[in-house]
């Protein structure tokens, strides 16, 4: 009789534990395969969500044509090369062209793409493209600053090194003044928290 997918996953976790020298039958590890399966279902939940559908549910008409910035969106993701954490912040700005999106939808879109196996550069592009293609603003800018555990826990072991990536679309790419305003805003002190 073939195994169901949950049992197959849990057996793979047991194999990994054996491979590193652990005993999956040890008391503290008996439920670990099930816990790992459930945590993976959450951590990689982005594969089951459609960022376009999230954005389309909260589009509103507007006459505003000034920059909208959501700054310091905390996220975690997983390096697709080593399955180790990427932890950082995302800054997202767009310039409306007749439509704005509910502010909570931008962090939700970040989460959709972050909760997949990723490289930072691709994550940055995916967020920018989803917003550009769905909201159709005059421009989009996305900057990610992150720490990669694949660099800190293994390999070069450089603690606290940060990687920055950006994706610029429309006015943010074409217009120096718009681009400068964005970078000035994301680099300024946050100030008072509300």
Distances from the Cα of 189 to the Cαs of 38, 104, 186, 193, in angstroms? Answer: 38, 22, 8, 11
Catalytic site includes residue 120: yes
Exposed e or buried b per residue across 165-179, where buried means at least 16 C-beta atoms within 10 angstroms of its C-beta:
bbbbbbbbeeeeebb
Catalytic site includes residue 118: no
Per annotation, catalytic residue among 10, 118, 126, 148: 148
Per annotation, catalytic residue among 22, 82, 122, 145: 82
Per annotation, catalytic residue among 49, 150, 152, 181: 150
Per annotation, catalytic residue among 8, 41, 80, 121: 80
Q: Which two tokens stand for residue 92?
A: 């997202």
Give the residue among 87, 71, 91, 73 at the shortest CA–CA distance from 141. Answer: 91
Catalytic site includes residue 91: no
Per annotation, catalytic residue among 49, 79, 125, 152: 79
Catalytic site includes residue 150: yes
Catalytic site includes residue 79: yes
Per annotation, catalytic residue among 10, 91, 118, 120: 120
Per annotation, catalytic residue among 8, 56, 81, 121: 81
Which active-site residues does the annotation give?
A: 79-82, 120, 148, 150
């Amino acid at each position: 009789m073939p195994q169901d997918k949950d049992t197959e996953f849990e057996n793979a976790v047991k194999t990994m534990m054996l491979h590193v020298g652990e005993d999956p039958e040890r008391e503290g590890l008996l439920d670990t395969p099930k816990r790992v399966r459930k945590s993976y279902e959450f951590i990689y939940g982005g594969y089951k969500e459609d960022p376009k559908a999230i954005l389309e549910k909260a589009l509103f008409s507007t006459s505003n044509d000034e920059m909208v910035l959501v700054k310091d969106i905390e996220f975690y993701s997983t390096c697709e090369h080593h399955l180790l954490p990427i932890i950082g912040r995302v800054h997202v700005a767009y310039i409306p062209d007749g439509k704005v999106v509910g502010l909570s939808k931008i962090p939700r879109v970040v989460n959709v793409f972050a909760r997949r196996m990723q490289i930072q550069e691709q994550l940055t592009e995916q967020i920018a493209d989803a917003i550009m293609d769905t909201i159709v603003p005059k421009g989009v800018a996305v900057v990610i600053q992150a720490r990669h555990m694949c660099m800190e826990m293994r390999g070069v072991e450089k603690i606290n090194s940060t990687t920055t990536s950006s994706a610029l679309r429309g006015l943010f790419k074409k217009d120096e003044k718009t681009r400068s305003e964005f970078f000035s805003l994301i680099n300024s002190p946050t100030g008072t928290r509300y």
